[in-house]
Amino acid sequence: MSSQFLAGNVERANASSRKALRWSVASLLTMPALLVALVAYALPTRAFA
């Protein structure tokens, strides 16, 4: 009984850690892209201001 319970918890932990990993990778990829887009938008507007 307890081994099945442990296995279920491990499986749940694996699933949640995979989800957390996916979110962290997505944010690591998205943040620099947003920064580049912001800089690319800000530079021409400041140059012509």
Q: How confident is the model at residue 30 (pLDDT cuts 50, 70, 90)?
A: very high
| CA distance linking residue 29 with residue 21, whole number of Å | 12
The 10 Å CB-count burial string (b at 16+, else e) for 20-45 is eeeeeeeeeeeeeeeeeeeeeeeeee
Higher pLDDT, 35 or 14: 35
| pLDDT at position 48 over 80 | no
| Half-sphere exposure in the Cβ direction for 11 (13 Å, CA) | 6
Mean pLDDT of 33-47: 88
* DSSP class per residue in 1-49: -HHHHHHHHHHHHHHHHHHHHHHHHHHHHHHHHHHHHHHHHHHHHHH--
Domain range spanning residue 23? 1-49
Number of domains in the chain: 1
| pLDDT score for 4 | 64
pLDDT per position as a tens digit, 2-29: 666 666 777 788 888 989 999 999 999 9
